[in-house]
Amino acid sequence: MLDTSPNDPGTTLPHAAGVGFKPQHFSEISTGDHPVKWLEIHAENYMVEGGRPLAQLRALAERFPISVHGVGLSIGGETRLDPDHLARLKHLVTWLNPASFSEHLAWSTHGSDYFNDLLPLPYTEATLSRVCDHIDEVQDVLGRRMLLENPSSYLAFEESTMDEVEFLRAVVKRTGCGLLLDVNNVFVSANNLRLDAYDYIDRYPHEAVGEIHLGGHDEDEDEMGAPLLIDSHGRETADPVWALYAHTLTKGGTKPTLIEWDTDVPDWPVLAAEAGRAAAMLESLFAEVRS
C-alpha cells in the first residue's frame, strides 16, 4: 500500500465543477467567463508524441487543474497490466503532474487485444485480489494515489459473492486508493439490477471519494420490457440523477464534480450550463455549512 494519510483523497482538484475537455471547446474554455474550474482528459488521447492535442493540453494545464482519467489500463483484467501502457501513463503523469489520476473498475484488454469498452467483472475474492494487485502496481509505478470509478452495469454475474459497495470498500482498505463516485453509473446500475440507488449511496465510503462524475444516459428496454438504462454520456444529466447527486452531497460533503459529455458533444454554452448547475449545488452546500 502506498503511504498516504487516511484522509488524503488522492487529489488536489478544487471542490468545484469541471468538464471533460473536448478540442472544439478550446477557445471558449481558454477565454470565456464560465463556471468551469477544472478539466478532465482521457489519458489515452494524449499518449502521442506531439501535435495540436498535446499543445492544447499544455496550454490548458497552465490555467486549470487537470484530472487524468484513464480508460485503457484494464484494472479488472485477468491478465497482467500491459507494461508498455503503464509506461505511457507514467510518462504522461510525470510531465503533466495532474491534480488527479483515475481509472475504472472494468477490463478492456485481453491477451494482446484492446476492445475500447469498459467490460464488467464479477465481485469475488479472486477478482478482488487481482484488482488490488493491479491497483498496487499502478500506485507504485505512478508514485501517487489513484481513484477507482464504479461502473455502469447492465447484467449481473451469478458467481459474484459480494455487492459492489462491499467490493469497493475492500479495495480501498487493501490498497489505500481513493474512489471516483459516478452518480449516473449508480443510478443506471440500480435501475438495471433493480437495486436501491439511495441505499447504495448511503452505504458508500464517502471519506474515500476524491471526485464525482455526472452524465447523461439513454433509456431502452430489455426483452421482457423492463427499463434498461444505457450509460451514453450523450445528453444532459437526468433530473433523478441530479436528485441523487444532491443526496450524495448531503452524505459526503462537497466534492470536485465533473460533467461527462462524450458523444453528440454540444456547443460550449450547453455544457457550461450543466457545469453551472453542479456549481450552484456545490455553492449552496458551502453556504449551508458556513451559516
Partner 1 sequence: MRQTVRQAMTQQTFITAALTPEQPVPDGLITPDGRPASKRFDVYRNNVVVSLKEALEQGFPAVQSLVGPVFFAAMAGEYLRAHPPKHPVIALYGADFAEFIDNFAPARAIPYLADIARLEYALRQSYHAADSQPVTQSALSDPLLFTRAVRLAPAFAWLPSAYPVTAIHRLATGTCRDGKTVQGGAEDVVITRPAYDPIATAFPAGTGAVLDALASGEALGDAAELAPPRLDLTRFLTTLLSGGAIVAINEI
Residues that bind partner 1 (CB under 8 A): 44-45, 47-55, 71-73, 77-78, 82, 84-85, 88, 107-117, 119-122, 124, 126, 154-159, 192-194, 222-224, 226, 228, 230
Minimum CB separation from partner 1 for residue 265, in Å? 13
Indicate the helix (H) or strand (E) that contains 257: strand 257-260
Q: Specify which residues 229 forms β-bridges with.
A: 219
Q: Which is nearer to partner 1, 156 or 285 (CB)?
A: 156
Q: Which is nearer to partner 1, 8 or 218 (CB)?
A: 218
Helices 125-142 and 164-175: angle between axes, nearest 10 degrees:
40
Minimum CB separation from partner 1 for residue 49, in Å? 4
Q: Which is nearer to partner 1, 9 or 70 (CB)?
A: 70
| Phi, psi dihedrals of residue 100, rounded to the nearest 5° | -160, 150
Minimum CB separation from partner 1 for residue 108, in Å? 7
Nearest to 202 by CA among 181, 171, 217: 181
Minimum CB separation from partner 1 for residue 223, in Å? 5
CB within 8 Å of 13: residues ≥ 6 apart: 38, 65, 67, 99, 100, 210, 211, 256
Q: Which is nearer to partner 1, 109 or 248 (CB)?
A: 109
Q: Which is nearer to partner 1, 9 or 72 (CB)?
A: 72
Classify residue 199 by burial, with Cβ atoms within 10 Å: 0-12, 13-18, 19+. exposed
8 Å CB contact between 13 and 211: yes
Minimum CB separation from partner 1 for residue 65, in Å? 24
